[in-house]
Amino acid sequence: MALFSRKRTVHSMTIREKRDFHAFVGFTAPTFILLGIFILWPIFYSFYLSLFKWNMISPKKTFLGFQNYQDMFGDPVFWLVVKNTLLMAFFTVIVKMAISLYLATQLNKKVKGSSVYRAIIFSPTFTANVAIAMVWAWIFEPTFGLLRVVLKPLGFPMIDWIHSTSHSLPAVIIVLIWSGIGYDMVLFLAALKNISLEIYDAALVDGANTYQIFWRITFPLVSPTTFFLLITGFINVLKAFDIVRIMTEGGPLNSSNVVVHFLYQNAFQWFRTGYASALALILFVFIMFITLIQNRLSKRWVHY
């Protein structure tokens, strides 16, 4: 067959190439056109808008140059928002991954009913953030909230999570951890299943204890997954909006405000389109930066 087709290519190469070219263009065009309009073009347009003062209604845009960026970098609220976003990303990702790796090792022991455990722990991954935020706001209610049932016997005072500048961000982080554990756990579990049992057996024969086995075998061998989850998890939290919007609206006093929510407020509540576009661009640059680091590091660090 190979011979047959090779003989014919001499003759019909250009026709075939042409046909392939047309098919390729036709097949990929919808995707590329859509990506071009709704993903690529917006980057340039955001940059353009970030140079103006514009309220979206008025036909007039006032050119400001880089004033929006100057205002942003001089705005303490911006820095608070950046700090909140990074804190949220850091704590959410670290805690969520630690818990989910631990749960994955437990699930990997294949006890009876593990598929039921897995299914329930994974379920928040697929449930609407809006509904999740609603029920958690109710759980955090200081007087009648479910959380008080747990915290009261432990000697905690009544905490008004949502109305406290020190507790609103942790409240959001708790919800993000809760809703993210399942996803990480399933990926860790997949990674654990790829580790051959012989390695464990060998370690057991050598007299290694559980602790040593975890740190010397399991942890290094799941490192590609760890790295993947670390980066994607971090980026996902940088983009968080729904839960913040519903639970705290970024308040009180911006104590739980994060970049995308702040962007939303500026663009669609206070109609500062230029400033919001500048924010969007900073977010873009930052995420691209992390992605680049990921590409660099994943080649070196991780143990594929």
Partner 1 sequence: MKKKRVGVVLAIVMVLCLSTGLWAAGQVEQAKPEGPIKIIYWRSLTGVAGEAQEEIVKRFNASRSDIIVESQFQGAYAEILQKLQAGLAAGDVPDLVLLDSPHLQIFAKEGVLVNLDAFVAKEPKNFLQDYIPGLLADSYYSKNLYALPALRSTPLLYINEDMLAEAGLPRRAPATWDEFREYCKKLTKVNANGEPIQYGVGFTMGATTAHWYFQGAVYAFDGKISDENFGVHLTEAPAVAAAKLWQDMVFKDKSAVPSTSHDDLFNKKVAMVFGSTGSMGNVMNRATFKVLPAFIPGQVRNGVPVGGAVIAMPSTDKWRQWAAWEFMKFFTGTDSQAYLAEKTGYMPNSTSASKHPDLVKYYAANPHWKVAIDQLQFVQPQASVISLPKGTEILRQMVEKLLIANMDVNTVMAETKADLEKEYNENFK
Partner 2 sequence: MQNNPIATHRFSKIVSTIATHGILLAATIIIGMPFVWMLITAIKSPQEVSIFPPIWWPKVVRWDNFVTAWNTAPFGRFYINSIITAGAGVLLGLITSAFAAYAFARIRFKYRDFFFLLMLAAMMIPGQIALIPNYVILAKLKWINTYQGIVVPHIANVFGAFLLRQYFMTIPDSLYDAAEIDGLGHMKIMLHVALPLSKPVLGTLLLYLFIQKWNAYLWPLIVTSKQNMRTLPVGLAMIRSAEYAIGPEHLMAASIFVLVPVLIIYFLAQKQLIEGIATGAVKG
Q: Which of residues 153-192 bind partner 1 (CB under 8 A)?
A: 157-158, 160, 162-165
Among 64, 93, 103, 159, binds partner 2 (CB under 8 A): 103
Rounded to whole angstroms, the Cα distance separating 171 from 164 reads 10
Q: Decide which of partner 2, partner 1, none touches 241; Cβ closer than 5 to 8 Å per partner kind.
A: partner 2
Six-digit token pair at 18? 């042409």
Q: 23 CB contacts (<8 Å, ≥6 apart)?
A: none
Closest CA to 87 of 193, 234, 196: 234
What, of partner 1, partner 2, none, does residue 128 touch, CB below 5 to 8 Å by kind? partner 2
From partner 2, partner 1, none, interface partner of 82 (C-beta below 5 to 8 A by class): none
Q: Shortest gap between Cβ of 124 and partner 2 (angstroms)?
A: 6
89 binds partner 2 (CB under 8 A): no
Under rule CB under 8 A, residue 43 binds partner 2: yes
The dihedral of CA 37, 43, 44, 46: what is its sign?
positive
Report in angstroms the alpha-carbon separations of 129 from 65, 138, 172, 190. Answer: 38, 14, 12, 25
**Between residues 61 and 118, which has the closer beta carbon with respect to partner 1?**
61
- Least Å distance between CB 79 and partner 2? 19
3-state class (DSSP) for residue 213: helix
Q: How far is the CB of 261 from partner 2 (least distance, A)?
A: 10
Segment 122-161, which members bind partner 2 (CB under 8 A)? 122-132, 134-136, 138-139, 141, 143-144, 146, 148-149
Residue ranges of E strands in the chain:
52-53, 62-63
93, 121, 169, 172: residue in contact with partner 2 (rule CB under 8 A): 121
- Site for partner 1 contains 122 (CB under 8 A): no
- Please give the span between the terminal C-alpha atoms of the chain, in angstroms, as a whole number: 37
Of 77, 64, 84, residue with least CA distance to 273: 64
Q: Does 281 bind partner 1 (CB under 8 A)?
A: no
CB 60 to partner 2: min, Å:
15
